[in-house]
A and B are shown apart, each in its own frame.
Chain A
């Protein structure tokens, strides 16, 4: 059992939890993920690692309500336990394996969208600890759903916030900010973009034109997370890769986003049904167009 030491609600759908998980905390690195299972009936949910404390033996996760299971998870409180918390899974960010000296010479740009801000944070923090100040763009639809602004400000070089509706920071999509920064004369050697699939797709489309190498972190459907099931396969440069063992980070200019987005929809009908079951319980008797009852 893995105890929840802290819980915080970051916006209307995103939660943060600090969990006691000694084995994971010991060897995990930015870019890796965990799989959690809340109870004996729980589904296995992959979540990227947002922070870790090796001394305390804790790992921080951030998750968004996207279906019935993540909704159910919000009921867990401080002092409660996850039945399972396994990791670290996947490969660490490539930055962690690079030579520190050459890393320090690099101009690095992070692009975070929505809940993707959480997995960006440990990478920026880790770089900060190595003496590398990376620029970070954080995008959110509106001001009230922006997360982790203070934490990010503390570790980033320049932090650029943008909201789709202009309610805070710059106005417009993250792609517009990239474009603006480049036009303002900023130069970058590498971009790391993590967020909704559609955001990563358009960031990659732009950075390809800008000739800016870009790494993305994918979060496809997974079951075991150790390479056994192949549910997380994605097309990268025409080759089949398993996001759980070959990724989750890939060269964004080679990822087939359209295929990846279609694959993410695979269980949408079933997920919708489960959500209805959770929300309406026994009172739901069909007619929603989502179920066969």
Chain B
């Protein structure tokens, strides 16, 4: 065994998986996990923990895996995370825990994500559930949104003994884990539903089909329904479009719509009652995880797929593993390319996408080199479908119906980074509703801080 390298993880063959929705990564088995765990040198001043937004005791759980006591490893993780089977699959480990791993200086870092996933999967398969609260505190908390931020906040508060109700606008709990991230990256029935069941097992109630701000306002929840505190984890919001000609043509979708149809409504299945456009040639505009998810979904539905991104490969915001997988599966990348117009046929359908080539100029405010148009570089990519994966802008449903809730100039809810407190007493917030579109684990980190903030607020009262 080469201690400088990760124990390789088994994956579905790229050619095979490009035609199915089964999970790409197959994960470690016990033997592989114990071998990988033995690469951890158990640093006293562990840097990996500092890289984890929910501060999991990483060397602590890996030590248990090393010894083959996976149940103990699971309980170590459970203290900090309500969704380990999810995080092991979708966290950008390369820029967090694994990015700080001492092993990574000379060789490859310890495969922390895959070990976390193994531990959580093993616990699920063996019927291990997290330990709930011993005593109830008799205080009620409303959590708005059942995505990563909401589930984490609810789980933590329930463990402290609070009575928690989650309100979800959609018909199924899970937020972006259910409507956004595809099956082949995050299995719904076996992984997401099971983790939600674990949160329920802690005593958390989940009420679906409730749109806060419409059916009931935050003020009503606190005044009429007796909630002592509220956490807003309502997620990102309205999809952005480019504002270029042809964008309202038939065959142009937001990635949100395309993914929601496929993931939440199961349109990828033949017998689904919800339709989805199966284009012959599809351009996905954007370079983040959502763009990769949409592109790889379209590929699996039988389309030839192009990613169109205005900067270069180095700036792609998606996880390295997703880009790597997308390429393996046959997604074609048009980098340093920016759409200027969507071409439309006489019946109103997309017939192509006109782009210009870009080059990188001076760095902009984000520190990334600004893409500049190369004059006279226009060209047309022949496509019948365009999916816009450009991020989202905040949904005003809650901020516009809650008096005294401050938002910033991007209309995101303003919340204290330390404890999630908003400008309104007893109301906390975190996740994409505060930061704009970010990652699952950052939302979880915010949910966790807010749970602590709410606990301090209610115990100080």
How far, in whole Å, are A83 and B169 apart by their CA atoms in the complex? 14
Contact code string B152-187 (vs A, CB < 8 Å = 1, else 0): 000000000000000001110000000100000000
Known A-B contacts A83-B171, A230-B257, A262-B348; A24 and B396 likewise in contact (beta carbons under 8 Å): no
Q: A97 at the A/B interface (Cβ < 8 Å)?
A: no
Residue A86 contacts which of B209, B257, B347 (CB distance < 8 angstroms)? B209
Nearest residue (CB) in A for B400 is A245
Number of residue pairs spanning A and B whose beta carbons lie under 8 angstroms apart: 112
Known A-B contacts A83-B171, A223-B260; A240 and B239 likewise in contact (beta carbons under 8 Å): no
Nearest residue (CB) in B for A22 is B215
| Beta-carbon contact of B171 and A44 below 8 Å | yes
Known A-B contacts A69-B273, A266-B250, A270-B275; A230 and B256 likewise in contact (beta carbons under 8 Å): yes
Q: A residues within 8 A CB of B208? A: 84
Q: B274 at the A/B interface (Cβ < 8 Å)?
A: yes
| Beta-carbon contact of B216 and A42 below 8 Å | no
Known A-B contacts A27-B214, A27-B215; A262 and B257 likewise in contact (beta carbons under 8 Å): no
| Beta-carbon contact of A229 and B265 below 8 Å | no
- List 22 interface pairs A-B (beta carbons < 8 Å), by A numbering: A26-B216, A27-B216, A43-B265, A43-B273, A44-B265, A84-B171, A84-B208, A86-B215, A88-B214, A224-B179, A226-B211, A228-B395, A229-B254, A229-B257, A229-B260, A230-B256, A231-B257, A245-B397, A259-B348, A263-B250, A263-B348, A271-B275
8 A Cβ contacts from B266-290 to A: 272-277
How far, in whole Å, are A163 and B126 apart by their CA atoms in the complex? 67
Q: B residues within 8 A CB of A37? A: 171
How far, in whole Å, are A231 and B276 apart by their CA atoms in the complex? 12
8 A Cβ contacts from B173-228 to A: 179, 208-211, 214-216
Q: A residues within 8 A CB of B39? A: none
How far, in whole Å, are A230 and B257 apart by their CA atoms in the complex? 7
What 3 pairs between A and B have smallest CB-CB spacing? A270-B275, A262-B348, A229-B257
Q: A residues within 8 A CB of B171? A: 37, 44, 83-84, 86
| Beta-carbon contact of A24 and B239 below 8 Å | no
Nearest residue (CB) in B for A256 is B248
Nearest residue (CB) in B for A41 is B273
Q: B residues within 8 A CB of A72? A: 273
Q: B114 at the A/B interface (Cβ < 8 Å)?
A: no
Q: Give chain A nearest CB distance to B215 CB in angstroms.
A: 4
Q: Give chain A nearest CB distance to B305 CB in angstroms.
A: 20
How far, in whole Å, are A266 and B214 apart by their CA atoms in the complex? 29
Supplied contacts A84-B171, A227-B237, A230-B256, 11 more A-B pairs, CB within 8 Å: A27-B215, A41-B272, A43-B265, A44-B265, A44-B274, A85-B209, A226-B397, A228-B260, A231-B253, A240-B247, A259-B348
User: Majority SS of interface residues in chain A?
Assistant: mixed
Q: Give chain A nearest CB distance to B399 CB in angstroms.
A: 12
Contact code string A84-112 (vs B, CB < 8 Å = 1, else 0): 11111100000000000000000000000
How far, in whole Å, are A225 and B311 apart by their CA atoms in the complex? 33
Q: A68 at the A/B interface (Cβ < 8 Å)?
A: yes
Q: A residues within 8 A CB of B257? A: 223, 229-231
How far, in whole Å, are A58 and B250 apart by their CA atoms in the complex? 37
| Beta-carbon contact of A228 and B215 below 8 Å | no
Contact code string A251-280 (vs B, CB < 8 Å = 1, else 0): 000000001001101110011001000000
Nearest residue (CB) in B for A261 is B348
Q: B residues within 8 A CB of A206? A: none
| Beta-carbon contact of A229 and B239 below 8 Å | yes
Q: Which of B210, B216, B254, B274 has the most CB of A within 10 A?
A: B274
Q: B128 at the A/B interface (Cβ < 8 Å)?
A: no
How far, in whole Å, are A271 and B260 apart by their CA atoms in the complex? 18
How far, in whole Å, are A165 and B275 apart by their CA atoms in the complex? 36
Q: A235 at the A/B interface (Cβ < 8 Å)?
A: yes
Q: A residues within 8 A CB of B273? A: 41-43, 68-69, 72, 274
Q: A233 at the A/B interface (Cβ < 8 Å)?
A: yes
8 A Cβ contacts from B232-265 to A: 237-239, 241, 243, 247-251, 253-254, 256-257, 260-261, 265
| Beta-carbon contact of A230 and B239 below 8 Å | yes
| Beta-carbon contact of B237 and A223 below 8 Å | no
Q: A residues within 8 A CB of B277? A: 266-267
Q: B residues within 8 A CB of A26? A: 215-216
Q: Give chain A nearest CB distance to B431 CB in angstroms.
A: 14
Nearest residue (CB) in A for B217 is A27
| Beta-carbon contact of B248 and A228 below 8 Å | no
Q: A121 at the A/B interface (Cβ < 8 Å)?
A: no
| Beta-carbon contact of A89 and B214 below 8 Å | yes
Q: A23 at the A/B interface (Cβ < 8 Å)?
A: yes
Q: Give chain B nearest CB distance to A83 CB in angstroms.
A: 7
Residue A242 contacts which of B210, B238, B247, B347 (CB distance < 8 angstroms)? B238
Nearest residue (CB) in A for B239 is A230
Q: A residues within 8 A CB of B396? A: 245
| Beta-carbon contact of B397 and A230 below 8 Å | no
Q: Give chain A nearest CB distance to B278 CB in angstroms.
A: 9
| Beta-carbon contact of A24 and B265 below 8 Å | no
Q: A residues within 8 A CB of B265? A: 43-44, 223
How far, in whole Å, are A44 and B261 apart by their CA atoms in the complex? 10
Q: Which of B170, B214, B396 has the most CB of A within 10 A?
A: B214
Residue A88 contacts which of B169, B215, B243 (CB distance < 8 angstroms)? B215
Nearest residue (CB) in A for B167 is A23
| Beta-carbon contact of B238 and A267 below 8 Å | no
| Beta-carbon contact of A24 and B215 below 8 Å | yes
Nearest residue (CB) in A for B210 is A23
8 A Cβ contacts from B110-126 to A: none
| Beta-carbon contact of A23 and B215 below 8 Å | yes
